[in-house]
Amino acid sequence: MGIPRVLNRKNRILLAELTKTDFKLRYQGSVLGYLWALLRPLLMFAILYIVFAKLLKIGGDIPHYPVYLLCGTTMWSFFTECTSQGIQAIVNRGDLLRKISFPKYIVVVSATLTAVINMLINLVVIIIFALINGVAPTWSWLLIFIPLIGLYLLSLGIAFLLGSINVKYRDITSIWDVLVQALFYAIPIIYPISMVASTSATAAKIILLDPIAQCIQDIRYFLITNETITTWNYINNKFLAAIPILITLAILIIGAIIFRRKSKFFAEEV
């Protein structure tokens, strides 16, 4: 029993050190440094709010739409950062993999945990912004960590799956960047899902079956208003409503299996 415990402790220490290093290196040489962890999603929110809320008048019927939009852009930034960093993690840590023998999954997890740190910092900003905007705090705020964990597990599964393929086929990173751009408009980040539902209930249900959309809508439901349309209160069929969770679990399991099989050859291919 002693050896596994020592190994587990060593792995935890390595994971913590790699996470710290990744976080520091990401902002090294930057004038604003760690402030970019806050500025990036806030600047994205400001641009989208001016264009879509002020100019195109979208979201006028949504309670606390500025918070609604900020929440969506921040969670989307978390997802894209988590997946992109995770996919490139093995390639970026090639020198380390060739020198030291340790579980390869630690490299991917450490890269995604850096995104988690940024997300938690931004979550504080969202809560402050929500209070300023007049959102009344409730006990349901504590439940936002449930969909947040779901979004992280989905991101981690994608990172395992595509990251293991990216070691040999470096085009995966570019392909994923294009897919992410398409996904941004396929998910109700800027526009409210109620806008889609008013036109086509079927289209709204299809969108809500996306695990990313489901997580973001659940966070809005718990944090902003219970008037938010979610997978659970819009799709009556419980089996269909569970599809986003099943997709997340399937991607995580398949990604972990493929990653484990290919990890034996990472040091040679990277």
Q: Is residue 16 part of a domain?
A: no
Distance CA 172, CA 94 (A): 17
Q: Model's pTM, two decimal places?
A: 0.88
Q: Is residue 21 part of a domain?
A: no
pLDDT at 56: 63
Distance CA 84, CA 114 (A): 12
Per-residue confidence at 253, pLDDT binned at 50, 70, 90?
very high
pLDDT at 59: 66
Structure tokens at 113: 């945990």
Q: Is residue 253 part of a domain?
A: yes
Mean pLDDT of the chain: 85
pLDDT at 7 over 90: no
Per-residue confidence at 1, pLDDT binned at 50, 70, 90?
very low
Residue owning tokens 């002693």:
2
Q: Across 6-77, where does the E strand assignment appear?
A: none
Structural domain containing residue 208: 30-269
Per-residue confidence at 4, pLDDT binned at 50, 70, 90?
very low
pLDDT at 141 over 50: yes
SS3 percent helix, strand, coil of the chain, rounded to 5, is 80, 0, 20
The model's pLDDT over 85-124, given as tens digits with 9 standing for 90+, comes to 999 999 888 777 777 777 889 999 999 998 898 899 889 8
Q: Is residue 1 part of a domain?
A: no
Q: What value does the mean pLDDT take over residues 150-166? A: 95
Burial string for 203-235 (b: 16+ CB within 10 Å, else e) reads ebbebbbbbbbbbbbbbbbbbbeeebbbbbebb
Per-residue confidence at 2, pLDDT binned at 50, 70, 90?
very low
Mean pLDDT check: name the lowest of 27-31, 38-42, 125-129, 181-185: 27-31
227 and 130 Cβ atoms separated by less than 8 Å: no
Q: Is residue 22 part of a domain?
A: no
Q: Is residue 23 part of a domain?
A: no
Q: Is residue 5 part of a domain?
A: no
What are the angstrom distances between the C-alpha of 67 and each of 49, 85, 115, 132, 210?
10, 27, 21, 10, 22
Q: Is residue 119 part of a domain?
A: yes
Per-residue confidence at 64, pLDDT binned at 50, 70, 90?
confident
pLDDT at 267: 73
Q: Residue 135: which residues within 8 A CB-CB, separation 6 or more? A: 64, 67, 223, 224, 225
What are the angstrom distances between the C-alpha of 127 and each of 11, 39, 70, 138, 145?
34, 16, 10, 12, 13
Per the structure, how many domains does the chain have? Answer: 1
Q: What value does the mean pLDDT take over residues 17-24? A: 77
Please give the angle made by the CA atoms of 24, 89 and 74, to the nearest 5 degrees: 65
